C-alpha cells in the first residue's frame, strides 16, 4: 500500500543527488584523470622541446574542454517604418549648406 499524500517519512533520494555507485564511479574516474594530468604535463613539455608549434596546437585543443567557446548569435528582423525625410549635407570647405537651401 503506497504512502498517504503528504507523508514525510519516505522521502527517498533528493532530486539531483547521485546514488552511491554512480558517486563512487565518478570519484574513481576523477582520481585517474587527476593522476594523468601530471603525465600529460610532462608529455606536453617533451613535445614542446621537439616541436613547439605542435605543442601549442595540442594546448589549444585541450583548452576547448576547459574554457567554454563563445557561441555566435544571429539576429534578424524587419523594420516596417516609412522614411519621412532625408537630409544630405554637402561640405565645400567654406560653410555647411543643405540641398534644400541651394
The whole-number pLDDT of residue 101 equals 52
What's the whole-model pTM score? 0.39
Residues 6+ apart with CB under 8 A from 87: 98, 99
Quick one: how many helices (H) and strands (E) in the chain? Answer: 2, 2
Q: What is the pLDDT along the chain (102 residues), one digit of tens a residue?
A: 566 777 777 667 777 777 888 888 888 888 888 888 778 888 889 999 999 999 999 888 888 887 777 777 788 877 777 777 778 777 766 655 555 555
* Radius of gyration, alpha carbons of the chain: 33
Amino acid at each position: 500500500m503506497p504512502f498517504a499524500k503528504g507523508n514525510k517519512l519516505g522521502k527517498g533520494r533528493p532530486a539531483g543527488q547521485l546514488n552511491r555507485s554512480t558517486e563512487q564511479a565518478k570519484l574513481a574516474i576523477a582520481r585517474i584523470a587527476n593522476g594523468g594530468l601530471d603525465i600529460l604535463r610532462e608529455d606536453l613539455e617533451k613535445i614542446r622541446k621537439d616541436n613547439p608549434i605542435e605543442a601549442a596546437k595540442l594546448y589549444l585543443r585541450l583548452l576547448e574542454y576547459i574554457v567554454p567557446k563563445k557561441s555566435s548569435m544571429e539576429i534578424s528582423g524587419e523594420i516596417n517604418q516609412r522614411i519621412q525625410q532625408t537630409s544630405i549635407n554637402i561640405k565645400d570647405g567654406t560653410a555647411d549648406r543643405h540641398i534644400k537651401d541651394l
